[in-house]
Structure 1
Amino acid sequence: MDFSDVSLTALRVFRTVAEQGTFTAAAASLGYTQSAVSRQIASLERAAGAELLERRRDGVRLTPAGRVVMRRATVVLDEIDATARELSGLPGQAGTVRLGWFPSAGAVLVPRALAALRRTDPGLQVVSREGGTPALVRALRAGSLDLALLASMPPFRPPDTESPPLVLQTLTERALRLAVPAAHPLARGDFVDVADLRGQRWIASSSSAEDRLMGVWPGLDERPEIAHIARDWLAKLHLVAAGGGLTTVPALLAAAAPPGVRVLPVRGGPQEQRRLLLAHLPHPLTDLGLRVASALRTAALETDEPTRPEL
């Protein structure tokens, strides 16, 4: 094997393919043609003398050789990026932690943790981005993220089957909640009985990966009436405030509910538990990573308080 002629472009393309999960998505992200992406990967595999990506019907994943190359490529690319920032007078990589988070974590949890870090560690730079669980896990594997906040639901399986397993820490485990218009009859009490959810109108979003609706209470024994489709959590909550229907929310979003919304527990039937996980690769976190992880844990505990009454 001979890496002497391997270009930085090939390494960046390789990392992007691993992160995006398909050649097509990587090409779109980079602004390349798919054939150009394929050529870069082929040149890297020739230099390695091994297949670096396993081509599957549902996309690609790193082979054992690919994981070795990715680990080394990440070090090289991060050093190059840090050098460019230093030459530009921007903060260096040594003070940066890269964080990924699932959509609803961006409404309360992440801002709360970042605000705390600005007070305790003003020199620490956190670069963050939102994504679904599959994308965040691929980014961790590709070395593009240091930490990721993930949501998990029963039966609480690992987020992927790759080896070695990711390190997963449960920050909170709480029951799913229901967002109800404040003027709705169901908002009069301190909880909603699951039997009273039959015949209600719902605000949902489609989850194509699992072909189910997010926002409808799980396990309803009827075909739900979907009044509105929205992907954004805050858009859903404002539709609830406008009287458009009901929607489910994780407990950590209760603090972000706008006026006109009550976020209530549901009683009766099996409890719908949700876990908030902090994930990273199976190696010790840096001191900076540990500080960010600590701030996220503290913020998660702060959101784990009883829901305030909404007016």
Structure 2
Amino acid sequence: MASLKALKVRIGSVKSTQKITKAMKMVAAAKLRRAQEAAEAGRPYAQRVESVVASLASKVQVTEGSSPLLAGHGRDQVHLFVVATSDKGLAGAFNSNIARLARRRALELQAEGKTVKFLTIGRKGRAVLARQFREGFLPPVEPGDLGKLTFADAKRYADDLIARFTAGEFDVAHLFYATFKTVLTQEPTERQLIPVQIPVAPVSAAPTSDAVVEYEPDEESILASLLPTNIAVQIYRAIRENAASEQGSKMTAMDNATRNAGDLIQKLTIQYNRTRQAAITTELVEIISGAEAL
């Protein structure tokens, strides 16, 4: 049985941990509000840019002279997974859920004979994936605090991605991140970045509008300008969603840790009181026994 001193030290240690987790929960709650507002404010623009690009792509005839970001390289053998997580832990299953989705999709593609490479934005995603895959990792990106990243950072990531695609390092790029739903729910999401996905309308679908649209300049010129912008916008959207998801998951994890620490303190306190009472009872019995012997 643990001694009274050991129990007292452990209770003090757990109380100190509880103070830390409670403070971290408050910090995450303060950051969550700003991150959630930024994520929700950016969604309409990102969705609109994506829909405009998809609409234009569906109206353009893909030829050999079309932009590679639209037409691709004519093959889909090498797939690049851009796995966006964070550099920090203590966020529950936030990082592992994103990496788990990427790992499952990678195994599916490998089973089809495809080659999968990884470009990780965040150390935690790379750490999880490295347990399953020993090769195929490009130099990682360590973004630091997700809440401080700007669109310029996202554009830099996008330019690097486009340069690698132009150089023929991969054929298809997929983006993995977590979509923020609520404080308790963050949904791992996969999105194809390169080449752009052209929506296939049902044969029976009726046109939504009879308006005649004229493009100046032509559709291909507009697409050539919009496609790189769309990639940067989608990466920035993923960063904003991840920033909110990270703080929501961290807030939940720290709340659970604080409550668990409280339960442990209660159990240790009961054990301490019982041990102390047993020690007092033993001393009293010894005193009474000694007095009777006299």
Please say whether Structure 1 and Structure 2 have the same fold, judged by a TM-score greater than 0.5.
no
Q: Which has a greater percent of helix? A: 2
What is the TM-score when the length of structure 2 is the normalising length?
Answer: 0.22
Higher Rg: 2
